[in-house]
Amino acid sequence: MNCKIGIPRALYYFHFFPLWETFLAELGFEPVVSPPTNQDILQRGLSTCVESACLPLKAFVGHATFLVEQGLDLLFVPQVISVFRKEYTCPYLLGLPDLVRSYLPATVRLFSPVLDARRGKGQPTFSYLRFGLQFKPPLQAFKAWRRAKAVQDELEKAQQNTNSLPGGLNILLLGPRYLTDDAYLNGNLLRKLEELGTGVITAAAYPDAITWPAARFLAKPPYWTSTRRAVGALEQAINRIDGVLSIAPFGCGAHAMQGVLVGSRISGSKAAHLQIYLDEHTSPVGLVTRLEAFCDLLERKMSG
Amino acid sequence: MRLASKGRPVYLGIDVGSVSTNLVLLDGEDSRSSLVWKKYLRTQGAPLAALKKGLSLIAEEGMWEIRGVGTTGSGRELAGAMLGADIVKNEITAHATAALHSDPTVSTIVEIGGQDSKLIVLRDGVVVDFAMNTVCAAGTGSFLDQQAARLGVPIENFGDLALSSSNPVRIAGRCTVFAETDMIHKQQLGMGIPDILAGLCAAMVRNFLNNLASGKELRPTVFFQGGVAANAGMKRAFELALNQPVHVPDHYDVMGAVGAALLAKEELEKSSGETRFFGLEQAVNCDVTNRTYECRRCPNNCEISEIWRDGAFLASWGSRCGQVGTQHGS
């Protein structure tokens, strides 16, 4: 069996790509990942997807339709309900496979294992294994999953490097991975921050084992994993950074809560906070103005 | 400069905005850098033409020797490349610099321009926080312009008419599209134009404060600047909402340009170097062209905008990968 399977380079791909790509390859598929978001892909999503969806979700639909147009009739779109106990992903993502299916021809088949860590820490593992058993005998499926998990763990460990702050201006970048890691959607934010001479650290640098206890000071635990990770990472990093930059898709409900939590925590500290909302704008002028002004502010604050 | 200029030394500040292009000259010898000349021009979608017109007005007077140039505004890169500016700065820093120069005790700056609105919070002369309108131009000068035109009120009379209202109507301020619907409904109920305009001012201020000021402490002294500060109705609406006096500085309409000139002066004093300015005569007489095309090298299809001066390539913008533009070399 050497069957091609498409993986859209969007949303939870940025969290789980080592696991997904390795696992599917080990199961005998040939994973085909769509190229990094570009104008053509985003435009497909914008013209297809429901108007009220957020930018990254529209981009996902663009990636999926792009893959289908390349002749792929199998797509890997897991239904990510929860990645951590007692927490959810956002409501749009809960129903992702159903939403995407409605925009694709009926001949396209989606593989959508359900990942729901609320039902138990081991649930995602079982779900992956059950998926693998459709194609391989039990021992081989288990070995495939174990190899994939090892690759995933290795990458996550490599990202958990909090010593990478170079001095000068240090910024904690908070926002969903599918924005911080997608250079097209975020308007090349990371390169601009680098040009402005800042050191950047993201919430990915802190594992759940650190952010979960760190966020426990909140009166009520947040529903959303991304919010808890952001608040926890801020709590850990707050004394080592000069500013916090939050990026979010325009109209994101989960972020509305996070912005308030981050803002209130920052207001008592020496750091400053800037929120940036991303949407379909094709001109980077607005983004650049905000980033430059933010860096000016941090510099003047430091020197005076 | 090639000409043996014996003019009065000045620093030129330029703010190329969406609606207006402003030029100011600050006295280069006076330690207080007082403003000696200013011009407010409508951009009308052609920033280069507006800029050249402004420069030719300066050249015509023939009495200024330009020591340094600073640019700001959304067209700052374009203007900076065309003229050889000594500093190209964002509007927030420029506005804060100008306000602090006119009053060191300023703690809050409200700035409403053509497509931007900004709130800048300062403490002890340092910017500590700022906010800008999020993704659309709702609640900015362009909308006031548009509504004034729809009601047949010249924008210059807007403020005074709003002030004459005794009973402002309530208008939804969340979004300007909603606001327009609401205004039309009230107008069709026979409510007077002054009351509608005053209601619109109050709605815009509510919108501004809800969007930009939540969680921020707005301490005195409060400055209100930008083109919209000309509107006395808006000023009064801010005073009522903030419950404290709001000051509109003398040169409220060109504060960005003043800030750019001050920053240019600071920059040249720091480096104690010569200005990189192309020269007034040269800038007025040169042939500047703008070329825009869609790059086809990759699926991003970036819109590349290039600027050429007398047949020589100066700069380009819009490339996401950074590879286009550098091909021309220097």
- Domain extents in chain A: 3-159, 169-303
Task: Output the pLDDT for position A108.
Answer: 95
Distance CA B205, CA B65 (A): 42
Q: Is the pLDDT of residue B60 over 60?
A: yes
| pLDDT tens for each residue of A261-270 | 888 888 777 8
Q: Is the pLDDT of residue A2 over 70?
A: no
pLDDT band at A163 (very low <50, low <70, confident <90, very high): low
Q: Which of A35, A39, A250 sits opposite B135 (nearest CB)?
A: A250
Q: State how far the alpha carbon of A186 is from the alpha carbons of A58, A277, B317, in Å.
A: 14, 9, 17
DSSP reduced 3-state for B13:
strand
Angle of helix B155-163 relative to helix B141-150, nearest 10 degrees? 90
Pairwise CB contact (< 8 Å): A300 & B74: no
Task: Output the pLDDT for position B326.
Answer: 46
How many beta-carbon pairs under 8 angstroms link A with B? 67
Q: Is the pLDDT of residue B10 over 70?
A: yes
Q: What percent of chain B has pLDDT over 70?
A: 92
Task: Output the pLDDT for position B4.
Answer: 46
**Which CATH number is A169-303 given?**
3.40.50.11900
pLDDT band at A255 (very low <50, low <70, confident <90, very high): confident
Q: Stretch B110-139: mean pLDDT, rounded?
A: 81
Point out the least confidently predicted range of B40-49, B99-108, B157-166, B314-323: B314-323
| pLDDT tens for each residue of A105-136 | 999 999 999 999 998 889 999 999 999 999 99
The residue of chain A with its CA nearest to that of B125 is: A304
Matching fold, domains A3-159 and A169-303: yes
Show which residues on chain A lie within 8 Å of chain B, measured between beta carbons: 35, 38-41, 183-184, 188, 191, 250, 260, 263-264, 267, 272-273, 277, 279, 281-283, 285-286, 288-290, 292-294, 296-297, 300-301, 304
Task: Output the pLDDT for position B280.
Answer: 82
b or e along A110-149 (b: 16 or more beta carbons within 10 Å of the residue's beta carbon)? bbbbbbbbeeeeebbbebbbebbeebbeeeebbebbeebb
Task: Output the pLDDT for position B328.
Answer: 40
Task: End-to-end CA distance of chain A: give it in Å, rounded.
Answer: 66
| pLDDT tens for each residue of B63-93 | 888 899 999 998 898 899 888 899 999 999 9
Burial of A2 (0-12, 13-18, 19+ CB in 10 A): exposed
pLDDT band at B142 (very low <50, low <70, confident <90, very high): confident
Q: Which of B89, B130, B299 sits opposite A297 (nearest CB)?
A: B130
Tokens of A252: 């994101």
Please give the mean pLDDT across all residues of chain A: 90
Q: What percent of chain B has pLDDT over 90?
A: 30
A69 or B321, higher pLDDT? A69
Q: Are strands B117-123 and B8-16 parallel, antiparallel or unpaired?
A: unpaired
Point out the least confidently predicted range of A189-193, B145-149, B246-250: B145-149
User: CATH: 3.40.50, 2.60.40, 1.25.40, 2.60.120. Which one for A3-159?
Assistant: 3.40.50
Please give the mean pLDDT across all residues of chain B: 85
Going from the N-terminus, what domains does chain B have, and what CATH number goes with each?
Answer: 8-96+256-285 (3.30.420.40), 105-247 (3.30.420.40), 288-328 (no CATH)
Is residue A37 reached through a cis peptide bond, with omega within 30 degrees of 0 on the bond before it?
Answer: no
Q: Is the pLDDT of residue B3 over 70?
A: no
Task: Output the pLDDT for position A129.
Answer: 95
Q: Which of B74, B134, B299 sits opposite A250 (nearest CB)?
A: B134
Answer yes or no: are the C-beta atoms of B113 and B18 closer than 8 Å: yes
Residues 6+ apart with CB under 8 A from B265: B11, B26, B28, B33, B67, B68, B70
Pairwise CB contact (< 8 Å): A304 & B126: yes
Question: ipTM score here?
Answer: 0.72
Q: Which residue of B90, B216, B295, B296 is the best one to mutate when testing the A interface, meaning the one whose CB has the most A CBs within 10 A?
A: B90
